[in-house]
């Protein structure tokens, strides 16, 4: 297999359908022709929500380890969140991250700039200075609590032609919660995070989007109310998109265990929420799947549900999980999976496909084992899950960046 794959140029326009892209890939002279239908070539995946932790927290992940892990997951473009040290809130700080990317990234890595200085929610960051270099503006990891500051940020982002990418979380409703405020929390005596802490800020922001006309993207939606609010906003014609993560689509709070690898923010919600997310994916309310790849050290994740850090890794498991638990059971087609993992995020964030693709062996069966991850982060709720699909190779700009 390995020596059959040669790095090959595929030029696909974003308007092309997945079948067209595959057709282009297969008809390109020099591309390996596979004797078996088990191998599928996808356009390079694009994840608009990852945490690569550099600069500031390289013990959790670096640009080098994160981008290698992404390549192993079939990704050729990712957008990194700004909860770093220093926070990219001006050009000088952003340049430190851009230097790491320039030096160490094996795929395309595009940062977000912060919305507020230090992600503190008090003063707007230098959005204009950072605009040429960033995918958009986000305070991910924290919600912008002040409505007025969010309004100002939206006005400025609109003038700069960049999206606001919102982590929606109302701190006044958290009350020390760390998992969903649902059946599992009640049964096991945990403090819960209510759904309104997510949908409340979404409702507020949608009002502001109407007022300012900004392009607005909602991060990691997890509740049925969020789906409905975004469905309505789209019906009204607002410039709104959203993402959810693989874990919210295939897991719910009935599957929680007393282990930090089940803890992320937002938390796994109820079975009804999960069903609403799948429905949202099918009717186009949810535009894309993004992983919120959020690596932490083993120590930080070893403190149970209450005390562990929020965040799980996901970039190396996204496609096998989507394929095994959504495509194989017939919920999504392979074309829809490619749309959600590649085409739609690239269109929304204007990220060129370039000459990128990944090759997957769809019949390869394995059990998810974090020891195999190239990411420094090992905490995943999918540990031990049986999956189909193994990335055989990933090509970025004609260069082989991962080979099994």
Active site residues: 292
CB of 197 to ligand DOR, least distance (A): 12
265 belongs to the binding site for ligand DOR (CB under 6 A): yes
Burial 76-111 (b: 16+ CB within 10 A, else e): bbbbbbbbbebbbbbbebbeebbebbeebbbbbbbb
Angle between helices 91-104 and 63-72 (to 10 degrees): 60
162 belongs to the binding site for ligand DOR (CB under 6 A): no
**Beta strands across the sheet bearing 45-50:** 45-50, 75-80, 108-111
201 belongs to the binding site for ligand DOR (CB under 6 A): no
Asked whether 351 and 345 are in contact (CB, 8 A), the reply is: yes
CB of 266 to ligand DOR, least distance (A): 7
Which of 43, 141, 143, 200 is the binder for ligand DOR (CB under 6 A)? 141
CB of 224 to ligand DOR, least distance (A): 20
Q: How far apart are CA 231 and CA 184, in angstroms?
A: 28
75 beta partners: 45
From residue 299, alpha-carbon distances to 66, 379, 383 in Å are 19, 11, 17
Please give the residue whose beta carbon sits closest to ligand DOR in the complex: 311
Closer residue to ligand DOR, CB minimum distance, 43 or 141:
141
Closer residue to ligand DOR, CB minimum distance, 83 or 355:
83
Closest CA to 143 of 107, 167, 160, 164: 167
Task: Enumerate helices (H) and strands (E) in the chain, giving the number of each.
Answer: 14, 13
Q: What is the DSSP string of 259-294?
A: SGGG--SSPP--HHHHHHHHHHHHTTSS-EE---B-
Closer residue to ligand DOR, CB minimum distance, 79 or 338:
79
Q: How far apart are CA 116 and CA 124, in angstroms?
A: 4
x/- track of binding to ligand DOR for residues 79-108 (CB under 6 A): ----x-------------------------
Size of the site for ligand DOR (CB under 6 A): 11
Q: Cα dihedral sign for 241, 246, 252, 257?
A: negative
143 belongs to the binding site for ligand DOR (CB under 6 A): no
139 belongs to the binding site for ligand DOR (CB under 6 A): no
CB of 291 to ligand DOR, least distance (A): 11
273-292 residues in contact with ligand DOR (CB under 6 A) are 292
301-320 residues in contact with ligand DOR (CB under 6 A) are 310-311
Helix (H/G/I), strand (E/B), else coil: 154: helix
140 belongs to the binding site for ligand DOR (CB under 6 A): yes
Which of 130, 185, 264, 379 is the binder for ligand DOR (CB under 6 A)? 264
51 belongs to the binding site for ligand DOR (CB under 6 A): yes
Helix (H/G/I), strand (E/B), else coil: 74: coil
57 belongs to the binding site for ligand DOR (CB under 6 A): no
CB of 217 to ligand DOR, least distance (A): 14
CB of 281 to ligand DOR, least distance (A): 20
62 belongs to the binding site for ligand DOR (CB under 6 A): no
Q: Cα dihedral sign for 26, 373, 56, 163?
A: positive
Closer residue to ligand DOR, CB minimum distance, 83 or 394:
83
CB of 401 to ligand DOR, least distance (A): 25
Which of 46, 294, 351, 358 is the binder for ligand DOR (CB under 6 A)? 294
Alpha helix stretches (DSSP H) within 63-116: 63-72, 91-104
CB of 123 to ligand DOR, least distance (A): 21
356 belongs to the binding site for ligand DOR (CB under 6 A): no
167 belongs to the binding site for ligand DOR (CB under 6 A): yes
Closest CA to 54 of 78, 34, 75: 78
Closest CA to 145 of 197, 181, 180: 197
Give the residues lining the site for ligand DOR (CB under 6 A).
Answer: 51, 83, 140-141, 167, 264-265, 292, 294, 310-311
């Amino acid at each position: 297999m390995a020596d059959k794959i040669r790095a090959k140029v595929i030029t696909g326009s974003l308007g092309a359908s997945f079948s067209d892209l595959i057709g282009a890939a297969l008809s390109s002279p020099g591309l390996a022709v596979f004797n078996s239908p088990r191998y599928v070539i996808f356009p390079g995946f694009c994840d608009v929500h990852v945490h690569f932790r550099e600069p500031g927290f390289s013990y959790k992940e670096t640009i080098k380890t994160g981008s290698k892990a992404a390549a192993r997951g079939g990704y050729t473009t990712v957008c990194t969140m700004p909860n770093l040290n220093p926070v990219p809130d001006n050009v000088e700080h952003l340049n430190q991250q851009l230097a790491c990317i320039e030096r160490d990234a094996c795929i395309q890595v595009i940062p977000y700039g912060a919305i507020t200085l230090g992600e503190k929610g008090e003063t707007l960051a230098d959005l204009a200075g950072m605009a040429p270099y960033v995918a958009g503006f986000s305070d991910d990891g924290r919600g912008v609590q002040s409505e007025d500051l969010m309004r100002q940020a939206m006005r400025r982002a609109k003038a700069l032609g960049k999206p606001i990418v919102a982590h929606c979380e109302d701190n006044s409703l958290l009350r020390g919660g760390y998992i969903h405020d649902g059946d599992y929390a009640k049964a096991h005596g945990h403090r819960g995070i209510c759904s309104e802490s997510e949908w409340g800020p979404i409702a507020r922001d949608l009002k502001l989007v109407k007022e300012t006309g900004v392009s607005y993207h909602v991060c990691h939606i997890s509740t049925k109310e969020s789906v409905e609010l975004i469905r309505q906003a789209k019906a009204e014609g607002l410039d709104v998109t959203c993402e959810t993560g693989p874990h919210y689509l295939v897991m719910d709070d009935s599957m929680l265990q007393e282990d930090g690898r089940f803890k992320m923010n937002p938390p796994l919600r109820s079975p009804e929420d999960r069903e609403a997310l799948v429905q949202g994916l099918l009717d186009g309310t949810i535009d894309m799947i993004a992983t919120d790849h959020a690596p932490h050290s083993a120590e930080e994740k070893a403190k149970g549900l209450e005390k562990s850090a929020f965040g799980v890794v996901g970039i190396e498991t996204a496609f096998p999980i989507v394929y095994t638990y959504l495509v194989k059971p017939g919920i999504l087609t392979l074309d829809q999976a490619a749309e959600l993992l590649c085409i739609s995020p690239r269109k929304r964030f204007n990220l060129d496909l370039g000459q990128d693709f990944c090759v997957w062996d769809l019949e390869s069966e394995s059990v998810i084992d974090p020891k195999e991850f190239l990411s420094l982060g090992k905490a995943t709720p999918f540990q031990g899950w049986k999956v189909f699909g193994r990335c055989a190779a990933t090509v970025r700009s004609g260069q082989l960046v991962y080979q099994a």
